[in-house]
Structure 1
Amino acid sequence: AEFGIVSGGQKLAALLLFINDVHSLGLKTAQGLTFTESFYWDMNDQTRAWSKRFAALASKNAMPSMTQAGNYAMVLHYLKAMEALGGNPHDGAKVVAKMKELPTDDPLFGKGPLRADGRRLIPAYLFEVKKPEESKYPWDYYKLIATIAPEDAAKPLEASDCPLLKK
């Protein structure tokens, strides 16, 4: 922003950007940045409802980042696996196997598979940070540019370097 890159017509892409970063920078400074992210609190009714509950408990009513949402979804899936196993088994391999067996389903990312390499397939999104005049309410920061299908957002299983895969 200081050097007029975006206001001069060039696109600026952030390699890693979280909603908390945009909030700290402010829309005037961050406007026009493009980036990919796997979660946005304002994507749909389910993400909004969960995120508003999260923000009510968070410092300064901050909306969740994609990492916070991902951690919630992962822990929820882990707890479902534990429940399916009848409690707290001491065999981590059984827990992981059950997690891979059970389909994932949560209010943030919806339903989806957990692959043999442990990667959950979810879409990725190309966003652009809104101009200040485009934002209608607090934390209304992103404009969706494109959706990247889950199978295109993740490295194919056949190309995985995961040492746990039996090839």
Structure 2
Amino acid sequence: MMEINRKIKSKKLNVRVDLTAMVSVSFLLIIFFMLVGELSKPKTMDLSLPDNGDIRCGPIACYKGDRSYTILLDDNNKMITYMGLLCCPIENPKEVKYGKEGIRKELFYINKKVHEHSASIGKPNNGVIVFIKPSKKSNYGNLVNILDEMKIANIDSYTIIDSYTPEETKLLASK
């Protein structure tokens, strides 16, 4: 008999790595870093400053006030507005209601009036600057409503100020 010299071959197993979990984690990381990158961008707002011709230095502020319109918010949906500075108003303080026939009509009128005045003196892009001053007694809904009215009336320059002058405090108490 013949002896056959056989070597026993080891059986090779096919090694297969499942990368499904790795792909899922990679997509999650990509989405996470895209989101963090978008959220970490600084948010900016345009700032409108008065021209040099609009400046007047006084005890309260250094501003002439012919483009300023102030809205005072108080409790019970009370709102008082005036044009210019309170010490020498262009338009006397008056109580205005919320809504289409109230503050919205006022804002459209004031914005148109200021634009016409600015155009007549050679500065056609100067619009009204609105100072919104909510009191501690006013509610958040009233502030949101005023901000909505700013958007509807196309008023670009407005600010929210959380303090009153003593004259404005007396005005709110008297009305």
Report the TM-score, using the length of structure 2 for normalisation. Answer: 0.23
Greater relative contact order structure (CA < 8 Å, 6+ sep): 1
